[in-house]
Every structure is written in C-alpha cells, then in structure tokens.
Amino acid sequence: MRPGDLIGRRLRVAGILVITGLLVEALCLVWSKPIAFVVLVCIGGALIGLGVLFFLYSLVSAPPHTTSSSGSSEDSL
C-alpha cells in the first residue's frame, strides 16, 4: 500500500468520524429534550474528538516527504 493511500484512508476515516459527530450535534441542537445535551457531549463530542485525534494522528504518522520520481511527492498531505 502506497503511503498516500494510507494517509488518504486515514483522512477519510477522520472525516467520517467528524461528519457523523457534526450531524449528531446538529440533531441535538434542534432537539428540545433535556437528554440532547448528554447526547451532544457523549456521542457527538466523542465522535468529533476521535475524528480530530485521528486527523492529527494521520499527520504525525505520515512518512517523511520525498521528492523521488516514484510519485510519492503527490501524496495527499
């Protein structure tokens, strides 16, 4: 697996986590029941937090940038 594919896949996972968390948050904001706050923090917050952490992990775990002719310089991020 090329490094770019790996980072791209991690970005996708991070993005899906963040998007799911944001959608949960949007639902909680229009939901008037008292439990909305708990759902927002426990589920929405956890998903967003995981997504952000996974995104940061994908950055720090990225292999060193190379300029060889193998095409690795076109890797995402």
To other proteins, the closest distance from the beta carbon of 68 in angstroms equals 16
To other proteins, the closest distance from the beta carbon of 24 in angstroms equals 10
> HSE on the CB side for 39, CA within 13 Å?
16
DSSP string for residues in 46-68: HHHHHHHHHHHHHHHTSPPP---
Q: Which of residues 21-60 bind other proteins (CB under 8 A)?
A: 21-23, 25-26, 28-30, 32-38, 40-41, 44-45, 48-49, 51-52, 55-56
To other proteins, the closest distance from the beta carbon of 70 in angstroms equals 15
Among 18, 63, 66, 71, binds other proteins (CB under 8 A): 18
- C-beta of residue 76 within 8 angstroms of C-beta of residue 3: no
- C-beta of residue 2 within 8 angstroms of C-beta of residue 72: yes
